[in-house]
A and B are shown apart, each in its own frame.
Chain A
Amino acid sequence: MLFSNILIYFVLIPMLMLGGVALCRNIKQIRAVAVIGSTALIALSAYLIAEFLKAPVEDAVDGMYYYQSWHWFTAQNLNINLTVGVDGVSIAMLLLSSIILFTGSFASWTIAQPKAFFLWLILLSTGVFGFFISLDLFTMFMFYEVALIPMYLLIGVWGSGNKNYSAMKLTLMLMGGSAFLMLGLIGIYYHSSVDGHHTWNLLEIARNNAISTEWQYFLFPMTFVGFGVLGAMFPFHTWSPDGHASAPTAVSMLHAGVLMKLGGYGCFRVAMYLMPQAANDLAWIFLILTGISVVYGAFSACVQTDLKYINAYSSVSHCGLVLFAILMINTTAMTGAIMQMLSHGLMTALFFALIGMIYGRTHTRDITKMGGLMKIMPYLAVCYVIAGMASLGLPGLSGFVAEMTIFVGSFEQGMTDFLAGAGSLRLVFTVIACCSIVITAVYILRVVGKLLFGPVQDKHHLELTDATWWERLSTATLIVCVAAIGCFPNFFENLIRGTFDPELFRAIAMNLNF
């Protein structure tokens, strides 16, 4: 039965929410639907975590729990199934998504045209949830694109500033990425067959490991770039600053918090998982690109004056670190990458929520035109400082554990490579990436100093009010999550690490043997 599998509810609940919102008559009902739905999703993912942590290994199919497959397009060896299954990483991502949807609902408490807004927002999250539970390349890709297109309208209609341009640019660039991706996926489908039996099933493809090396060299860049565009990999990141700057609050939150994670998730779950040989051989190309992303984004952020641009570039830097760590192809660094995804997701959502709330009051995002907000809206300002601290890697908050794990893992890999005579690329880029912690501190403190501290710049701002209860709830939730990861990292790392067991993740095993 379709509904006997718990995972399907991650898609089903958003769909019900869609229906619910469509039937709503006023904003109160819409809020209720959004909040109830997203709370249910959080509960569901929490339940999943609890179950996962005590589930016996035998229940898993290649590390995937709740594995189940339903026929969809199956005529004539097409073999498109609706295959679901989760491992620790997917669960972590599901939890992240539901939390951000929850907080995003609160952040858009008083949005204009709420019905349409929530419809699109929930459609977007349907895509996100579907993507994370899917184990079938086709389904995965479908949900991936479902998550992309609502962005256009969400930014276009509810955005601000140069929204037409940004929305179009974002959509086209991301779709451009998915064009490469689609080609890559179809290529994988055709070249992974054993005995003429084609399959879209991720696990089967990985198990067969039948893609020839030459084809891996062709398909790996396709898929990696395809997902990398969404992961804001240099030089395909340029949609991100404009897109984030124009998007409304909840959309920025969801986009930076969750959608960009789709990119990183896809990179390892599809590109590296299915094509281990190419992942090992071609990692250096992308390592250079992502290494550049890390410092490049950070440096760019240093001189921006628009709050959202600063944060968008910081996302480029942090998400660059995710891909960077994934490309280290070792368990520690990749675990760190996922931690960084979680951490960045929550913290950047917090940032965007706060920026949205500040912008909603001051009607400007130019840091040169604001100042001394700590005096005017202390709650928001304190939250901003906390977010900033998380971003620059203060221990006790999530950023530190993620970055530390990444650095330890990458350094280990870099030195191993170096000592094995395999070049010092990883080592050099690890050191370069480490430098980002300083640059991050520079731009974070620059903003905090200019925006929150110092004398009040604009006298009109003195009349502004502090956060409302829904804004407090939204930000407090995120802060609690950020602190939870920061204080109890082992809980989350234990969730994640299983995915990158060399026995399951062939690329790591290859890298180790090398």
Chain B
Amino acid sequence: METSAILILAIPLLMFLFLGLAGKYLPHKWAGILGTLGMGVTMVLAYTVAFEYFFSGNSLFIDADGNRLQHVVFNHDWLNFYDKLSIRLGFLLDPISAMMLVVITTISFMVHLYSNGYMRDHHGVWETGFQRFYAFLSLFSFSMLGLVVATNIFQMYIFWELVGASSYLLIGFYYTKPSAVSASKKAFIVTRFADLGFLIGILVLSFYVGFYSDGNITDAFTFTSLTSVPVDGVADTFQVSEGTAQVIRDLFQNSAAPMFMGASVLTWALVLIFMGGMGKSAMMPLHIWLPDAMEGPTPVSALIHAATMVVAGVYLVARLFPLYLMAPAALDIITVVGALTALYAAMVACAQIDIKRVLAFSTISQIAFMMVSLGVTRLDHSVALGHEVHEGLGYMASMFHLFTHAMFKALLFLGAGALIHAIGSNDYTAMHGLRKYMPITHITFLVGCLAIAGIIPFAGFFSKDEILTACFGHSTVWAIWMALVAGLTAFYMFRLYFLIFWWKEHKVHDEHHAPHDQPWTMTLPLVILAVVSVFAGFVPFGSLVTWNGHPITGSGFLTNLENLNWSVAAISLIIAIVGILIAMKMYKKENPLPEKMRNALPALWDWCHHRFYWDELYQFITHRIIFGLVCRPIAWFDRHIIDGTMDAFAAVTNKASYAIRGFQSGNVHMYVWIYLIGAVLLATVTMICVL
């Protein structure tokens, strides 16, 4: 187990170093094969580890009552701050990390495989920097794996940063394109800003844990104890390690705990940590980097900006979920942010032309679903439209959606990549009617669309249904809101689908250069992911991944179907179908309806099309305010005031030198005068002072 764990991290890292240093001297083909193979091995290892965790029944992983346990495979000191606090690097296995291992390695492997085809043109000429691309992919996989298996919040922060950096490198892969460069810069800086919140949150948390406990903060900071906080009324936590857990709990509930602006400092800490998650997961208002990040190669978008990295924020909140449970205010903030983002992104997605941007906004919207789902999770018993809601259902739903979304969104992105590769453009206006030319892409894309729209029995249906159920269990308002967003989702996805594959016949200028399906390296991942997208919904998540390891459903193949809350399911299905039908009506055949609607509400279109002018706002804040009103004045101040003062000392000295030169007039009379005055002054002043 330990060997596998180490290898899961080590193989991608070594692959990065090897390809990064020696890649230049490798033939392109071998670099690709090597990278893919490496990732394949990692995937197999991850599968075995996950399988062992979930299904072996080993007492390390599951206790006698069927509760899943957290297991630290290894954990080594890396950096000692002081005797009580140090950063450890380790490998934590628990339901969500095992699940994430599977997701990441699967998608990553698909992307590795797919890129072998994608990263060369129709004549088989490799992209420049092909080896570098694989090196970066490996680096990203390493960072992401390190992030999900983090045993403590510091390790998470470390890999969090590494993920950000590798994302930066990958977005800016086409570094000669100014748009790619600025997109990568934007992504990094926005997430960095969010990380500032994360960092301060960690600092606050670490301080208070250390301040109130005599024990070792490092131990307390290991997730196993951070998340083993006993919550009132629920005893089924992973593993209660009394001392530190009690401290943390006291921190939250002790009325003497420090307050800041009306909320407990710990709530603040969690909100700040969530801010980090907002950055990575592109929640409003820190979402602006994600659409631009589509400047990167499409496989990268599939890997990073759809399936893995962007859900890191969700993962972070899930990781610390037992803590969040004790700060309902923080959860409420998460709900509100998530809900607003979901609607916003869905609206914007309806008015985009670039297919990758549509997918990007749909990603934002879907991640917001997961966030909302976490935000509405409470442990009190609640009822959703007449059916009892399992305790902690939202958490499970969120993770479930994370899992299914990763699959179908990767599928959609890879499909979009195939289209772009075939057409050479990101705009659907250049596509239209491609269904005949690219049948495999068409079918797989359709599967993806159905999945995301939430049509039974595709994967998205089950997970989204659970989310809505959780919402209904918490608050009807948010539930309806989210249901509407789900409808919008169906609409814009099918708008995209119809505009790409239907609308009107594709104009082909030259039969030889007609768009066609891509080579097997690209289609195989599509097919695999499509199959997964169809069946992933049946994975019995309730028995595998729950917030406290306690299974809430059975583990049969049809469990999900059996446990459906059919009232909710009906609502979501109806809404989704309505959405699809409207999209079909508007976009299946070329017709003037879209134009008419656009003209009916021009302002709405403009705002949606321009993404509610968020970018312009940021542009204003950064360029006008930060650069114009802070940086430039400071630079000016430095050059003119500070520097000027120093220069002034010199200038004054020089001036003084010239001013007094008259004393040295060359005239003996003057010399003697001054001599005399000096002597007399010396005498008189002393007399006045002394006598």
Contact among A241, A374, A400, A490 for B158, CB-based, below 8 A: A400
**A437 lies within 8 A of B646 (CB):** no
A372 within 8 A of B: yes
**B203 lies within 8 A of A411 (CB):** yes
Q: What residues of B have a CB within 8 angstroms of the CB of A441 in the complex? A: 188-189, 192
Known pairs A395-B158, A454-B176, A454-B181; A304 contacts B635 (CB<8 A): yes
Within 8 A of B (CB), among A422-459: 430-431, 434-435, 437-438, 441-442, 445-446, 449, 452-455
**A449 lies within 8 A of B181 (CB):** yes
B162 within 8 A of A: yes
Nearest-Cβ distance from residue B196 to partner chain A, whole angstroms: 5
Within 8 A of B (CB), among A238-266: 238-239, 241-242
**B176 lies within 8 A of A405 (CB):** no
Q: What residues of A have a CB within 8 angstroms of the CB of B638 in the complex? A: 238, 241, 296, 300
C-alpha gap A408/B209 in the complex (Å): 13
Closest to A410 in B: B203
A412 within 8 A of B: yes
Within 8 A of B (CB), among A362-383: 372, 374-375
Contact among B80, B162, B650 for A493, CB-based, below 8 A: B80
> Can you give 9 contacting A-B residue pairs, CB < 8 Å?
A238-B638, A299-B634, A302-B626, A302-B627, A401-B79, A408-B81, A411-B200, A445-B185, A497-B80
B680 within 8 A of A: no
C-alpha gap A441/B186 in the complex (Å): 10
**B161 lies within 8 A of A400 (CB):** yes
Closest to B638 in A: A300
Q: What residues of A have a CB within 8 angstroms of the CB of B77 in the complex? A: 490
Known pairs A411-B207, A445-B185; A303 contacts B192 (CB<8 A): no
C-alpha gap A239/B638 in the complex (Å): 11
**A490 lies within 8 A of B211 (CB):** no
Mark B58-89 against chain A: 1 for CB-CB distance below 8 A, else 0. 00000000000000000001111110010100
B175 within 8 A of A: yes
Closest to A397 in B: B165
Nearest-Cβ distance from residue B627 to partner chain A, whole angstroms: 6
Mark B194-227 against chain A: 1 for CB-CB distance below 8 A, else 0. 0110011001101100110000000000000000
B4 within 8 A of A: no
Q: What residues of A have a CB within 8 angstroms of the CB of B168 in the complex? A: 445
C-alpha gap A169/B165 in the complex (Å): 39
**A332 lies within 8 A of B82 (CB):** yes
Please report whether the interface of chain B is mostly helix, strand, loop or mixed according to DSSP.
helix
Known pairs A401-B79, A415-B207, A419-B211; A300 contacts B199 (CB<8 A): no
C-alpha gap A431/B81 in the complex (Å): 18
Q: What residues of A have a CB within 8 angstroms of the CB of B195 in the complex? A: 437
Closest to A241 in B: B638
Known pairs A302-B631, A452-B175, A453-B181; A445 contacts B189 (CB<8 A): yes
Nearest-Cβ distance from residue A369 to partner chain B, whole angstroms: 16
A289 within 8 A of B: no
Closest to A392 in B: B192
Q: What residues of A have a CB within 8 angstroms of the CB of B631 in the complex? A: 299-300, 302-303
Known pairs A303-B631, A304-B635, A437-B196; A446 contacts B185 (CB<8 A): yes
B570 within 8 A of A: no
B400 within 8 A of A: no
B47 within 8 A of A: no
Closest to B128 in A: A375
**A438 lies within 8 A of B193 (CB):** yes
C-alpha gap A442/B203 in the complex (Å): 23
> CB within 8 Å of B: which residues of A?
169, 172-173, 234-235, 237-239, 241-242, 296, 299-300, 302-304, 331-332, 372, 374-375, 389, 392-396, 400-401, 404-405, 407-409, 411-412, 415-416, 419, 430-431, 434-435, 437-438, 441-442, 445-446, 449, 452-455, 489-490, 493-494, 497
Q: What residues of B have a CB within 8 angstroms of the CB of A375 in the complex? A: 176
Closest to B207 in A: A415
Q: What residues of B have a CB within 8 angstroms of the CB of A296 in the complex? A: 634, 638
**B196 lies within 8 A of A299 (CB):** no
Closest to A395 in B: B158
Q: What residues of B have a CB within 8 angstroms of the CB of A239 in the complex? A: 646
Known pairs A303-B627, A490-B77; A455 contacts B178 (CB<8 A): yes
C-alpha gap A494/B631 in the complex (Å): 38
Nearest-Cβ distance from residue B27 to partner chain A, whole angstroms: 18
Closest to B168 in A: A445
B642 within 8 A of A: yes
Contact among A169, A374, A434, A449 for B196, CB-based, below 8 A: A434
**B176 lies within 8 A of A453 (CB):** yes
* Residue in A235, A239, A453 whose Cβ sees the most chain B Cβ within 10 Å: A453
Within 8 A of A (CB), among B629-663: 630-632, 634-635, 638, 642-643, 645-646, 650
Nearest-Cβ distance from residue B635 to partner chain A, whole angstroms: 5
B428 within 8 A of A: no
Mark B167-182 against chain A: 1 for CB-CB distance below 8 A, else 0. 0100010011110111
Contact among A173, A395, A454, A455 for B162, CB-based, below 8 A: A395
Closest to B20 in A: A382
Nearest-Cβ distance from residue A383 to partner chain B, whole angstroms: 13
Total number of B residues with any Cβ neighbor in A under 8 Å: 53
B159 within 8 A of A: yes
> CB within 8 Å of A: which residues of B?
77-82, 85, 87, 154, 158-159, 161-162, 165, 168, 172, 175-178, 180-182, 184-185, 188-189, 192-193, 195-196, 199-200, 203-204, 206-207, 210-211, 258, 626-627, 630-632, 634-635, 638, 642-643, 645-646, 650
**B632 lies within 8 A of A303 (CB):** yes
C-alpha gap A453/B168 in the complex (Å): 13
Contact among B159, B172, B189 for A438, CB-based, below 8 A: B189
Q: What residues of B have a CB within 8 angstroms of the CB of A435 in the complex? A: 196
Known pairs A408-B85, A438-B189, A452-B175; A489 contacts B78 (CB<8 A): yes
* Residue in B87, B182, B258 whose Cβ sees the most chain A Cβ within 10 Å: B87
Nearest-Cβ distance from residue A106 to partner chain B, whole angstroms: 20
A-B pairs with lowest CB-CB distance, top 4: A453-B175, A395-B158, A411-B203, A453-B181
Known pairs A299-B631, A299-B634, A452-B175; A407 contacts B207 (CB<8 A): no
Q: What residues of A have a CB within 8 angstroms of the CB of B204 in the complex? A: 411, 415
**A454 lies within 8 A of B175 (CB):** yes
Known pairs A238-B643, A299-B631, A300-B635; A394 contacts B189 (CB<8 A): no
Closest to A489 in B: B79
C-alpha gap A442/B187 in the complex (Å): 11
Nearest-Cβ distance from residue A6 to partner chain B, whole angstroms: 28
Supplied contacts A296-B638, A372-B175, 4 more A-B pairs, CB within 8 Å: A299-B631, A332-B82, A394-B161, A490-B79
Contact among B177, B182, B632, B646 for A238, CB-based, below 8 A: B646
Q: What residues of A have a CB within 8 angstroms of the CB of B192 in the complex? A: 392, 437-438, 441
Known pairs A419-B258, A434-B200, A437-B196; A393 contacts B642 (CB<8 A): no
Nearest-Cβ distance from residue A113 to partner chain B, whole angstroms: 29
Q: What residues of A have a CB within 8 angstroms of the CB of B258 in the complex? A: 419
Q: What residues of B have a CB within 8 angstroms of the CB of A489 in the complex? A: 78-79
Nearest-Cβ distance from residue A175 to partner chain B, whole angstroms: 13
C-alpha gap A395/B177 in the complex (Å): 27
**B210 lies within 8 A of A303 (CB):** no
C-alpha gap A88/B642 in the complex (Å): 37
* Residue in A299, A395, A494 whose Cβ sees the most chain B Cβ within 10 Å: A395
C-alpha gap A352/B550 in the complex (Å): 57
Q: What residues of A have a CB within 8 angstroms of the CB of B161 in the complex? A: 393-395, 400
C-alpha gap A262/B78 in the complex (Å): 28
C-alpha gap A483/B613 in the complex (Å): 41
Known pairs A300-B638, A454-B178; A408 contacts B196 (CB<8 A): no
Nearest-Cβ distance from residue A51 to partner chain B, whole angstroms: 22
Q: What residues of B have a CB within 8 angstroms of the CB of A394 in the complex? A: 161-162, 165
C-alpha gap A113/B162 in the complex (Å): 44
C-alpha gap A438/B85 in the complex (Å): 25
Q: What residues of A have a CB within 8 angstroms of the CB of B184 in the complex? A: 445, 449
**A235 lies within 8 A of B175 (CB):** no
